[in-house]
Chain A
Amino acid sequence: MGVELTTTRLEDAAKWAKQSMLEKGSNWGRKFSLFTYPFVTACCGMEFMSVAGPKYDLARFGAEFPRFSPRQSDLLMVVGTVTEKQGPAVKRVFDQMAEPKWVMAFGVCASSGGFYQNYHTMPGVDQVIPVDVYIPGCPPRPEQVLDGIIMLMDRIQSGRGHSQLRLKREELIANAGSEE
């Protein structure tokens, strides 16, 4: 047994196609209006300022508006080293963000802990929250960040973000329970 993703009935197929078109449209809107929450903890913040500034201009990809409240943002950029003491704070910020939401690990420290191997550094922010895009580099070049943004936009368009997949899964589980 499992969840049926396809159906043979014509009206169900039409409904599925309609939902899919709606999802495609909303994802198209989402990927061009990313509201970022910069969780800047360390020296990668300098590169974040560079990429958000006029020269590299993150605004070309629709992510120009940093919101300093997690409730108004849907892209969490973890910029820099995250310590174990900061773990509850990162998780709380992530939990406060509105669905659907995406996370970008900016730099090797946020991705894997970087060159730190000690008692206080978290080995990657994915230990506490799900990460969609990892950007390597110490710090990354602005071109790498823009490449990561484009990868994230592809991911949002195809509905493969972690929170999108989770929402889909929860919807499927709810529907499976109700049909029975």
Chain B
Amino acid sequence: MSQKVLDALQAKFPNAVERTASTHKDEVAWIKRDNLVEVAKWLRDDPAMAFDSPVFVTCIDWLDWNPVGVPPDARWDESKPRFTVAYQLRSLTHRHRIRLEINVPESDPRCPSLAELWAAFNWQERETFDMYGVRFDGHPDLRRIYLYEEFVGYPLRKDYPKEKRQPLVRRDDLPINPIKVEHKP
């Protein structure tokens, strides 16, 4: 659908684009982490691209991803980066869209922020940080957006136990204990 965007992107940034794919009419470009901001800025400002509508940003946790039917070399193991940050962009002018994916290793979960380019990414990057713990460099106000400040950990990571609760208050004065009155002498 918008294969020409991928071609133009690869012609413009041959070193920044790791690989591209086009599946189910959805164009994906894997971008190197250090080049993300300049690529995104070009995608926004170039009149032939004109990606003026930010759709979403989210993160994918690949931990132990080995579903049935996937060839062994495509499965996740320790040598591959654990997280993938995905930016979906759309152009209302030219009616094409593209998704930028950035591989982020677990040892250094950082990603450049695009909140300065598209203001709508501000809260979505905060949500991604809240749920996955990916730090967005250059974000103007990076703190938790849904969860409370006392929360420890990142709940949508695959290794967060689903039974784990982090309560803020618990009751302590229910009449469940039998009445015991100590008579003073």
On A, residues with C-beta under 8 Å from B are 1-3, 84-85, 87-88, 91, 117-120, 122-123, 126-130, 162, 165-166, 169, 172-173, 176-177, 180
Given contacts A1-B183, A85-B148, contact A128 B169 (CB under 8 A): yes
Task: Name the contact of B163 in the complex, choosing from A117, A129, A172 (C-beta under 8 A).
Answer: A117
Nearest-neighbour CB distance to chain B for A122, whole angstroms, equals: 7
Residues of B within 8 A of A (CB): 146-148, 155, 160, 162-171, 173-175, 179, 181, 183-184
Assembled-state Cα–Cα distance A130/B174 (Å): 6
A176-B181, A180-B183 given as contacts; is B167 within 8 A of A122 (CB)? yes
Contacting residues, chain A, for B146 (C-beta < 8 A): 120
Chain A residues within 8 Å of B167, by CB:
84, 87, 122, 127
Residue of A3, A117, A120, A128 near B171 (CB, 8 A) is: A128
Is the pair A85, B147 in contact by a Cβ cutoff of 8 Å? yes
Are A120 and B155 interface neighbours, CB within 8 A?
Answer: yes
- Contact check, A2 vs B162: say whether CB atoms are below 8 A apart: no
Distance (Å) between the CB of A140 and the closest chain B CB? 24
Give every chain B residue within 8 A of A123 (Cβ-Cβ).
165
Min Cβ gap A131→B in Å is 10
6 sample A-B contacts, Cβ–Cβ < 8 Å, listed by A number = A84-B167, A85-B148, A91-B171, A123-B165, A128-B169, A180-B184
